[in-house]
Structure 1
């Protein structure tokens, strides 16, 4: 049993000091998926994002046209003192950073463009975006997305079209590809971009979500974008289908978070095959946080965090760094 991967302790999902450490270790050093270029074709309305309390603004500065434009898309931070970088893949996906501490895109997402270049993401127009808060940590939602053990009994409609018989997760450099049926290349595309973003192409449309953290580790803002090229009736049918799956996950996440905050769940062991996606992203978080902690401890910045001592796995007031 000692060789099996253990989950992150519950304290990592409930502790304000831990989130601040994650903010510096994970969010400021990652590339974040914002959307396909079709999301940014309205010249009159810039798209505003808030990721880990940093506000990004995406504008299309090109002249209005019926064609999909990529050259005119620019990403900037609202705070002029914050320097960021942005990247548009050849297939039309827009990414950005929250600081200059992030590795080059080709290094952070090594091999991603080889996969996404198989799809032309300029074909599906943006149809709708929604946003709301959930009573759970940002990682709680990613836990659910990165495995499908729960799919058969929680998502009966989804499982009817995408049976979990052959479901597997293939992990790469800071991203994961979810494969529903390895014998069917066109049987949907499900991608996770570390740390908080997803992109799903299935059911005739495309959707993405961002699990956005707040300074309260028990609250996350979920943002969803939906894309579809069909009629209004066809889009609404697709929207109803994917929203049902999203709300089923939402309810699970709130219950899971409540169990951690009540001390019912502290830490567990991951299935090495069925939960490899969870193990992958949690190990990425664990590695980044530990490295940042040791760096700040050596610099004695901040003083209070540098003196943090290991505690139990439950949701106490200080972070537990020994997993």
Structure 2
């Protein structure tokens, strides 16, 4: 039993200081999916985003489809961005992130199987939920709950053969390993997804707020059809999203009440959860150790006594 991966403690879902550490350790050092180039059709139109309290804007600067600038809304400073050959735009939110190829070294062959320049953008929606950002990612990264919580989705993609293949900083979800081309479901660490199935495409971003128990969900929907077919697709994918939303709010409530503290992850069915949680754990602990060491080295003399600047406040779970 000692070899089995344990979940993150419940305190990591409820602590404001811990989120600030996550922000420095995880979010400022990552790449984010903003969307396919069909999201930026009009020259000069600004599409706004907010990730971990950083506001950014993506704007198509000319008639050239690839001429898209991503910049800080408040300062105008341009962020590093990357447009893949098949039409997906990614961006950073700080200079602390590595290069795109370093962050996603084996992503291009997989997303190269889909032409993301064909599906028009149809709708975007956003709203807040009473749960931590990791609560939603937990749900996306495993499908033990799918058969019971998503009965309509399970009809088309039975969870019997559901498999998650984890790569560096992303996961691929496959409903049937023998039919790997039947839909494309991707999770991009730490908080973005891309889902191509049912004749359309959707993506969502799980955006943390400064309150650890509140998260803003942002959804973008794409489809070849704008009428009844799109509305039918939209209704289906929204049903799945709301089922997850309700599940996450209930899970967060249990975490905050102390009903659930920590547990063991299923070694076969929750590999996606283990992958991303261990990634968060490693990055946060490394950031904490680096900041603690840096603060401890900042000693100074006061009346002949050595004083040490203390580290920034972090969650007790790291002490």
| Deviation by residue 1:188-211 (Cα, 9 ceiling, x = unmatched) | 100000000000001110000000
Unaligned runs of 5+ in 1: 64-68, 309-317
- Aligned 1:48-67 pairs, distance under 5 A: 48-63=48-63
Q: Would you say 1:320 and 2:308 are equivalent positions?
A: no
Q: Aligned residue pairs: how many? A: 308
Unaligned runs of 5+ in 2: 299-308
Q: How far apart in 2 are the matches of 1:82 and 1:43?
A: 19
Deviation of 1:45 (Å): 2.5
- TM-score, structure 1 as length reference: 0.92
- Aligned 1:85-234 pairs, distance under 5 A: 85-234=80-229
Secondary structure of 1:71's counterpart equals: coil
The 1:44–1:283 alpha-carbon spacing in structure 2 relative to 1, beyond 3 Å, is: same
Structure 1 residue aligned with 2:305: none
Structure 2 residue aligned with 1:30: 30
Residues 128, 225 of structure 1: 8 Å contact kept? yes
The 1:284–1:82 alpha-carbon spacing in structure 2 relative to 1, beyond 3 Å, is: farther
Secondary structure of 2:317's counterpart equals: coil
Structure 2 residue aligned with 1:47: 47
- TM-score, structure 2 as length reference: 0.93
Q: How far apart in 2 are the matches of 1:184 and 1:235?
A: 25
Residues 174, 180 of structure 2: 8 Å contact kept? no
Structure 2 residue aligned with 1:4: 4
Secondary structure of 1:282's counterpart equals: helix
Residues 44, 61 of structure 2: 8 Å contact kept? no
Cα RMSD, aligned residues only = 1.6
- Of 279, 290, 295, the residue aligned with 1:295 is 290
Structure 2 residue aligned with 1:245: 240
Q: How far apart in 2 are the matches of 1:197 and 1:165?
A: 25
Q: Would you say 1:236 and 2:245 are equivalent positions?
A: no
Higher relative contact order (CA 8 A, sep 6+): 1
- Which has more radius of gyration? 2
Q: How far apart in 1 are the matches of 2:134 and 2:5?
A: 17
